Amino acid sequence: MDGERLFCDVALAARIERAEVRLVVESSDAARARRGDDVGFARPVAGGVASFAEADSPFNKVAGLGFEGVPDALDEIEAAYAELGAPVQIELSQLADPSLGAFLTGRGYRLENYENVLGRRVGGADHPEGIRRAGDDELEAWLAGIAEASVVADTEGVASHEDFPRETILNALRDMPGMLRFTAERDGEFAGGAGLRVADGIAQLGAAATLPAHRRRGVQTALVRARLAAAADLGCDLAVVTTQPGSKSQQNVQRLGFDLLYARAVLVKGVSATSSSGADSRQAS
């Protein structure tokens, strides 16, 4: 593994957040295309995006704020969410404009949780045994395995404020365009899986889950290594992953050379998002 530590300045955080915005927009649009309607939205706001994909979707959120000034159109955004009966959930990087925190809490937003963004330079990874790319004809089997693993949460670290039904997880994974799927097998059976998406030279590692019977057996470590190797093959220079603070997933990726780059504060206004947001790219060990 590359031993060089990765320092995150505002410019790098802005680059990572732009990739997140692109993921949210494309996935939100894909949800409407899947349904064949125009319910919901993905609206630009101050360099970020406000998105509503469908009820209980992980893509119902505001992402990427704070790198192009303070938003001046939140009244309209808040009204759009209220019309659909959804809370406004803003994921705010700690490296964003520092005035935004006071601005949002002054508008009635409350802090519900944090999530950590970790990254490392791509390079030095190999292709581990037991991990393979899942083909398009294996999509449904891969989705079923990920969903089964995801509904049994790992309890290490700070608990997530998000909890999602099985069908929501399946739809969210279907709606991530361009995602490469990886499968881990132990003793000839599905043990876990994970996804990789590339945006502007950034390898976004997500959709990771391991069946409870196979946890603590190195499955996610092997999946991370496989995706780092694939990212290098695809010409990426940076890999990022989002985890719950203090989780086993965070520990796993830090052991593989990922540095903690910044945290996102999850700020919510309206009906609690405790069980109505989503399972996007968070790691599950």
Per the prediction, the chain carries an average pLDDT of: 88
73-82, 102-111, 160-169, 240-249: which has the minimum mean pLDDT?
160-169
Q: Is 207 exposed, middle or buried (0-12, 13-18, 19+ CB in 10 A)?
A: buried
Instruction: Report the sign of the C-alpha dihedral through residues 268, 272, 277, 279, in that order.
Output: positive
Inform me whether the pLDDT recorded for 87 exceeds 80: yes
The tokens for 254 are 């830090």
If asked whether residues 79 and 209 sit together in one domain, one would say no
* Residue 277, pLDDT score: 36
If asked whether residues 26 and 145 sit together in one domain, one would say no
Secondary structure class of 10 (helix, strand, coil): helix
Residue 275 lies in a domain: no
* Count of domains forming the chain: 2
Give the pLDDT band (50/70/90) at residue 280: very low
Q: pLDDT for 66-84, tens place per residue?
A: 999 999 889 999 999 999 9
160-169, 206-215, 248-257: which has the minimum mean pLDDT?
160-169
Q: pLDDT for 104-125, tens place per residue?
A: 999 999 999 999 999 999 987 7
Chain centroid to CA 273: how far? 16
Q: pLDDT for 248-266, tens place per residue?
A: 889 989 999 999 999 999 9
Residue 145 lies in a domain: yes
Inform me whether the pLDDT recorded for 101 exceeds 50: yes
Residue 1 lies in a domain: no
Q: What is d(CA 25, CA 66) in angstroms, rounded to the nearest whole number?
A: 17
Inform me whether the pLDDT recorded for 232 exceeds 70: yes
* Domain edge (last residue) among 67, 84, 116: 116
Q: What percent of the chain shows pLDDT beyond 90?
A: 69
Minimal CA–CA distance to 197: which of 189, 206, 188, 184? Answer: 206
Give the pLDDT band (50/70/90) at residue 213: confident
State the residue range of the domain holding 129: 121-262
Residue 95 lies in a domain: yes
The order of strands in the sheet holding 88-93 is 41-45, 48-52, 61-63, 88-93, 259-269, 110-121, 238-243, 202-210, 189-199, 180-186, 131-133
Q: What CATH number is attached to the domain comprising 130?
A: 3.40.630.30
Q: What is d(CA 163, CA 53) in angstroms, rounded to the nearest whole number?
A: 17
Q: 123-129 contacts: CB < 8 A, separation 24 or more? A: 123/2, 123/232, 124/1, 124/2, 124/228, 124/257, 125/1, 125/225, 125/226, 125/228, 125/229, 125/232, 126/225, 126/229, 127/225, 127/226, 127/229, 128/222, 128/225, 128/226, 129/222
Inform me whether the pLDDT recorded for 210 exceeds 60: yes
Decide which of 283 and 62 is more confident.
62
Residue 47 lies in a domain: yes
Inform me whether the pLDDT recorded for 246 exceeds 80: yes
